Amino acid sequence: MILGAAVAVSVTYLWLFGDQTFLAFEARAMARTLPFVKEIPVELSDSSVSLAPGRKLSYFGYEFEIPWDDVDDSKCRIVGGNKAIIAFLSGNVLSLWSWPPHEFANGVLSSIKMDPQKFRQLYGDAALQSDYTFHRIMLGMTPDKVFPFTSKRQAHSDFALLLSKGISGPPGALSGIYSVKAGEFRGFQFGRPQSSPGSVSIELYSDSTSLDFIFGQKANGSTVISQADINRILVTLRKSQPDI
């Protein structure tokens, strides 16, 4: 009788929570392979801004200042209409991508084959109002939030978000994810210059566009990119002023 009761309980548990339990174990296994998925956005503590001589640049309707005056104009170019490559004599490279609004959310939902309406039902109506809100929800998903005692649909959705987080995370994300602001933009910085040189990127979102900055630093180069340098770009980012 005891064995029969144990079997009945086990069968009932597997029927109700089998899928969820499997996904919970998979989420924790993912964390061992991709430690980045355990990270969540925190506020950037370093607000210093470089005052070094630099240059104003303008791309895709926006302008900003860089704290470096060694732009190699012969190697700078626009690729595909939405990517700018800015090269420097030091060997460093700054790449800037421009995307239309909702491009990020639509791409992730399509990759995990989730209906937007179902996503709203699970995470709230505001979840798809902007790429920033969607990305914040995705980055806030951690392995410990995928647990057995929830609905199958919730568990599958949470695991799919966690998987998307792991796949889309830039290399520098392992050294931290930081919430940042830049004028009308809000977004996230992945990595710290002192911890992951050459692996720092910033993804910014506004109601009208998205901008991605990727900082490429030459190993043992003459110019070392600092957080203050990155902040110089963030605090000066604004819509381009019309020529008078």
Mean pLDDT by 10 residues, the chain (244 residues): 56 54 84 89 93 95 96 95 95 95 91 86 87 94 86 84 86 85 95 75 95 88 88 96 62
Q: How many CB atoms lie within 10 A of CB 127?
A: 18
Number of compact structural domains in the chain: 1
Q: How confident is the model at residue 18, as a pLDDT?
A: 59
pLDDT at 173 (0 to 100): 80
Q: Which long-range contacts (CB under 8 A, 24 or more apart) does 65-69 make?
A: 65/232, 65/233, 65/236, 66/94, 66/229, 66/232, 66/233, 67/228, 67/229, 67/232, 68/92, 68/223, 68/229
Please tell me the distance from the alpha carbon of residue 111 to that of residue 160, in angstroms, as a whole number.
9
Instruction: State the residue range of the domain holding 180.
Output: 1-244
Starting at the edge strand that comes first in sequence, how are the strands of the sheet with 177-182 ordered? Answer: 42-43, 177-182, 185-190, 200-205, 210-216, 93-99, 83-87, 77-79
Q: Cα angle at 13 between 163 and 2, to 5 degrees? A: 150
pLDDT reported for residue 59: 96
Complete edge-to-edge strand list for the sheet that includes strand 55-59 = 55-59, 62-66, 238-239
Q: What pTM did the predictor assign?
A: 0.86
